[in-house]
Structure 1
Amino acid sequence: MTAGEKLRRFFRTDQGVGLLLVSPTALYALLLLAVPLIAIVVISFLTQTGVRDFAPGLSLVNYKEALSDPLYRELMLRSLMVSGSVTVVTVLLAFPIAYFVSFGVKPEQKSLWIFLITIPFWTSYLIRVFLWKVILGYNGVLNSGLKLVGIIDEPLTFILYNVNAVIITLAHAYAPFAILPIFVALEKIDRSYLEASRDLGESRTMTFLRVTLPLAAPGVVAAVLIVFIPTIGDYVTPKLVGGPGGTMIANMIQTQFLRLNNAPLGATLAVLAMLIVAVIAIVFLIVGYRAAGGGKKGGRG
């Protein structure tokens, strides 16, 4: 049997048909994701000599500059701090909502609640950022309301054009992304596990901590990753509501590419940011996997 005949016979099998169906999508994803990523990595090893000129060969000059310059380190640490804070705030606020929808809402009404949760997606992300700018402004809705009821005499200045404004705006923007995976994880929990825990004498609090929370760990980890990864690369929100004190590493990457015409250094910062995010994501996945495994053991017991 020739190679061509073997190939034709293979594509007549279920595996071959599946491969043919997946191939266009895989090729499309490869062109849109892998090729640009490889290009960014290659550019990061180049040395720029002019506006559009590069020195021949590859070097680590950009990585040495990015790792030695205190400005880039400060921006990276600030980005990690902001993204971590946004993730913690978002997940802590999202879990009670997801828990209420899963355990406190009638089954026939859950679709309505999920529909209401997705309403923020109806408006542009940029419009929502501008609305928070209006709410948190010096004479905005929040300050005007607090002055009207007599809680403050002077407008609050720490809620706009700083890190606090970035955290508030991003937490609101990504809240639905955190609620949905947690809700899905809670919906998959077998309610008989909770009943068994109560029958064995556990209180509601201990049942939640020892059964519900471990079993919901995959959804929590998914919510953490869904919020943390994009927020560390967000540059629109810091630019609009962050001010100088809210600048993040993504803003510096944008500046290097578009204003300073230093694509190699911008690519280097992007690669370093991706590596840091990848390491943190792997740690969260390992923690989530162990927590889920512990939850299953606890559920069987």
Structure 2
Amino acid sequence: MKLLRVGLPGEETPAILDADGVIRDLSGVIDDIAGDHLSAASRKHLTGLDLSRLPKISDSTRIGPCVGRVGKFICIGLNYADHAAESGSEVPPEPVVFNKWTSAICGPNDNVVIPRGSSKTDWEVELGVVIGKAGRYIDEADALEHVAGYCVVNDISEREFQLERSGTWDKGKGCDTFGPIGPWLVTPDEIGDPQNLGMWLDVDGKRYQDGSTRTMVYQVPFLISYLSRFMSLQPGDIISTGTPPGVGLGQKPPVYLRAGQTMQLSIEGLGTQTQQVFAESDA
């Protein structure tokens, strides 16, 4: 299934994409793509629906974040060896963990706003893993049973705030609009192996990132198990699993986003995002 949320910011309703690519209204069935509705039982119930009987929603309707009521937005840094190299860093002996604030979350095609004082706002296409079943101390062999689905994440990052302003990475990762997710939450049955998905990102039509989840250092089952040692994972939590090479920081010389530019990014089977870039004063 491809689940999504549509409508004005803060007023999104749950929806599903049918086999013909028509958006169908799920609001008469569930109240949101969130919480208990991410469980295996709820997903099984949705697969049994006759989608042709659900109301159609115009494809011109805004698509919002594909998951509602997100509790934690957990990110993994330097999880592709070639990206670590372009960043001038060693592959870490354990996963690097940081957070994006949930206030950074926005729709896949919403505007991205360069914050005040920024000169180094960057892009990162990433595979997002959405938790559907709560757990602590999860065995790696059981980890994928806790996944509700997968989505595209653009882990937008302000590199000066992240790397040059002391403290943790978080201050450069969680600015408003720095967490577009979606367009769809795609259930695991449609994806198969999450470690074999092509991914790319363009800025103004120029391909900067062109990689695959095959080259992750720490793969999805390990990450779920690892993170569950330090926190309980809850339905609706998002794990953003790292980015392949080609970020602006890694260009020679570095290249960063400017107002007026357009980003487009995609992961195989998970849909495409398109974002216009604005400066804070223009947004």
Q: TM-score range by the shorter chain?
A: under 0.3
Q: What TM-score comes out, normalization by structure 2 length? A: 0.23
Q: What TM-score comes out, normalization by structure 1 length? A: 0.22
